[in-house]
Structure 1
Amino acid sequence: MANTESALQDAMTSIEGALGAALVDYGSGMALGTLGGSQTLDLNVAAAANTDVVRAKLRAMEMLNIQDSIEDILITLGSQYHLIRLLAGRGGKGLFLYLVLDGKRANLAMARHQLKRVEAELEV
């Protein structure tokens, strides 16, 4: 089992094209841990903003009476992929992993697969 720091390190090193990663509490919008990012990619700001994305999708599912869970949410930009993976395991309720990828270097299918593995090994 990996703690937050080692899980984010694993994501950054094992996922090709990773630019930044965070573990986020979508109840508060706070990043519990971040790794990577840049002057133009503030992971704390992104964590708070993407909390609104998660909440909006959960509200929409409730309004549509969709009895299912969100695996991940993908946002594609011109040069980046933003991947939000809600944690499903014990202790992970209310948390998501947030990963920003370079669209030119990343393999989206492999990134999703690796992020799922990181989630499975994360101990929160």
Structure 2
Amino acid sequence: MSNMDLALKEMMAIDGAVGAAVVDYGSGMALGVQGGSKALDLQVAAAGNTEVMRSKMRTIEQLGLKDEIEDILITLGAQYHIIRPVTGRKGKGLFLYLALDRGRANLALARHHMKGIEENLEI
């Protein structure tokens, strides 16, 4: 099993996970996905969240902030969506995406798990 497959499996093991992806934000393409449904097309989510990621990175640059994105949280009525850039040298240009069922997920614990998964990911 590749490191990316393992990362996807670990993300889906987080309580409340409904879909996970590893995304290249240069192209907007999902390199790997797991989960999802008719209501959650992970390929569409990957492309759309690429725009969120790019926009936030541009804003940080325009503001002259000397900081990096730890994660981006999008709160919906029924779901949480977490976008976490991969910071390791071998994962530059990638982000992890996780959609959670809001009624079953522990957001703080999910963010903690995502940090560990991101730190161990090598592509």
In structure 2, the residue matched to 1:48 is: 47
Correspondence for 1:110: 109
Distance apart, 1:79 and its partner CA: 0.5
CA offsets per residue over residues 25-50 of structure 1, 9 Å max, x none? 00000000000000110000000000
**Counterparts of residues 1-124 of structure 1 (less than 5 Å):** 3-13=3-13, 15-124=14-123
Secondary structure class of the residue paired with 1:91: helix
Could you tell me which amino acid in structure 2 is paired with residue 9 of structure 1? K
Q: Matched residue pairs, number? A: 122
Identity %: 63
Q: Which amino acid aligns with 1:77?
A: L
- Residue identity matched to 2:8: L
Gaps of 5+ in 1: none
- Equivalent position amino acid for 2:4 in 1: T
> Following the alignment from structure 1 to structure 2, what is the Cα–Cα distance between the partners of residues 7 and 62?
29
Equivalent residue letter for 2:110: A
RMSD (Å), alpha carbons: 0.8
Shift of 1:122: 1.3
Q: Distance in 2 between matches of 1:72 and 1:26?
A: 14
